[in-house]
Amino acid sequence: MKEKVPEAVRTCPICGERALSISQEPVLVEFRDGSYLVEGFTYEACSACGEALHPAGQLDEIHGRAVAIARRDRGLLTPDEIRRLRSDLGLTQVELESHLGVGPKSVTRWEKGTVFQSAVADNFMRSIWAHPEIFGAMPHPPSSVRADRLALECYAPVVEGAVDAGVVDNEFALAA
């Protein structure tokens, strides 16, 4: 008669040891500047090699919860608040990205909750939400051109004979 192996112990597909069992331990998610423990998930863990095996789609949910925890801990705007801010300002995601000077799809990811925004972007969004009139004074920045090659509104071409124009290395002088 075959000995019945408890369902809770299986062979690990990574190390081959019979050390894989059900776990509900918190999952550690690490970001560049912090780590977060996310609770409430059941998965398999190997006590021999330390590998964790998560069901399909679970890692996205774990990452999303970690992003929400990080956003809360840092006091950042939530995805719904960013969406409402953008709607209140009458901007598309691409337009908000352009005004903030962030990369393509950044606002999409913030609004989906897959990543969190920097504190600088968050503070700027709060400022423009509170004072939308600053859009009138703000040039609409180009999306993908190198800044050192641009003639932005805050710079003027160097003019021969300008009095103490403060010439910058990139052949532009600060506008008065």
For residue range 33-80, list pLDDT tens digits in order: 899 999 999 999 999 999 999 999 999 999 999 999 999 999 999 999
Q: What is the pTM of this model?
A: 0.68
Segment 142-169 shows an average pLDDT of 41
Could you write out the three-class secondary structure of the chain? CCCCCCCCCECCCCCCCCCEEEECCCEEEEECCEEEEECCCCEEEECCCCCEECCCCHHHHHHHHHHHHHHHHHCCCCHHHHHHHHHHCCCCHHHHHHHHCCCCCHHHHHHHCCCCCCHHHHHHHHHHHHCHHHHHHCCCCCCCCCHHHCCCCCEEECCCCCCCCCECCCCEEECC
Residue 4 has pLDDT above 60, yes or no: no
d(CA 121, CA 107): 10
Q: pLDDT value at position 8? A: 57
Q: pLDDT value at position 161? A: 47
Q: pLDDT value at position 133? A: 84
Torsion angle of the four alpha carbons 62, 66, 71, 74, in this order, in degrees rounded to the nearest 10: 170
Residue 11 has pLDDT above 60, yes or no: yes
Among 30-34, 100-104, 151-155, the range scoring the smallest mean pLDDT is 151-155
Residue 171 has pLDDT above 60, yes or no: no
Amino acid 162 reads A
d(CA 79, CA 110): 6
Residue 176 has pLDDT above 50, yes or no: no
Q: Which domains are delineated in the chain?
A: 20-74 (3.10.20), 79-137 (1.10.260.40)
Categorize the per-residue pLDDT at 137 as very low, low, confident or very high, splitting at 50, 70 and 90: low
Q: pLDDT value at position 132? A: 85
Residue 139 has pLDDT above 80, yes or no: no
Q: pLDDT value at position 163? A: 46
Q: Give 78-112 pLDDT, tens digit per residue.
A: 999 999 999 998 899 999 999 899 999 999 999 99
